[in-house]
Amino acid sequence: MTPVHHPLDALTLADPDAPPHVMGVLNITPDSFSDGGRFLARDVALSHALSMVEQGASLIDIGGESSRPGAAAVSTAEQMDRVLPVLECLRPLLPPEVVLSADTRDPLVAAAAVKAGATLINDISGGSAPGMLETAAEHNAGVVLMHMQGTPETMQQAPTYEDVVGEVLAYLQVRAAAARAVGIPAHRILIDPGIGFGKTRVHNLALLRALPRFVATGYPVLLGTSRKRFMGAICRETVFSELVGATCGTTALGVTAGVKVFRVHDVRANRQAMEVAWAIAREG
């Protein structure tokens, strides 16, 4: 067992017998698909983060750039202006075991966020920007490496695959190997199949069915399905905030597959789904 000397290590994500965790989403953006504009004010953002921890989140993921389909890139300076003040104020308010994550694909933002209190970098581009993985290694941060076909601006323009599961899995294994090559320990590398990021409904469902294959890599798996549009189409819901039950369904599925972290907007409901699914699978 790896000695616990890093907030991420305390979550024991690499231990298949340890329970999974909920990551609460804190979007400090005006245009995120589900909650854009709600948490731009610092006091409101801090209050929401504290509420999510109270509801059971072990990690808080703070981002200043929307990744909704069609979203334009946000400058380094603007991301920093949005994210850093919240990180700096939030870290002293939380227990040390709560992990703060910076949701960014910009190495400069990542470096500043780690200095402000983050210990995890959640990169939707799989750590592909020059210097991103080196930045994480230099600052002793963990990484979430996600698969995305294209960019947020282009990803839903007719995404195609020959074998979506095989291609996404191969990509994530290559990116994880690159992270290890620069010195990031394997137990601090999480992989995320990127549900909804350059995928159709059929692709998303195939990836969800194949979650055990991602778990079998040995890297902790993060699942982010929260309020995703493809579930709304299945459930005949057009309001994203009404997809709590749909998200909880994928959370329960993910627990049985061995997923370790669930990135969600609705912490309490998904924490309940996660804990009950874990008890069914592991107790008795």
Contacts of 263 (CB under 8 A, 6+ apart): 23, 25, 61, 122, 192, 222, 223, 224, 226
Told to judge if 38 belongs to the known catalytic residues of this protein, a careful annotator would answer no
Six-digit token string for 48? 């929401």
* Three-state DSSP class for residue 143: strand
Q: Nearest-CA neighbor of 32 among 69, 76, 79?
A: 69
Query: What b/e readout covers 83-107, taking b as 16+ CB neighbours within 10 angstroms?
Result: bbebbebbeeeeeeebbbbbbbbbb
- Residues 146, 132 contacting (CB under 8 angstroms): no
Catalytic residue among 82, 227, 229, 263: 263
The candidate with the shortest Cα–Cα distance to 251, out of 235, 236, 268, is 268
Closest to 230 (Cα-Cα) out of 208, 211, 258, 252: 208
- 228 belongs to the catalytic site: yes
Structure tokens given for 203 = 């692709």
Q: Catalytic residue, from 82, 105, 227, 228: name it.
A: 228
Report in angstroms the alpha-carbon separations of 29 from 23, 64, 80: 18, 5, 12
Residue with tokens 């369904």: 249
Please, what is the Cα angle at 103 between 87 and 64, to 5 degrees?
A: 70
Contacts by residues 246-249 (CB-CB < 8 Å, ≥ 24 positions apart): 248/272, 248/273, 249/273
Which residues have a catalytic role annotated?
A: 228, 263
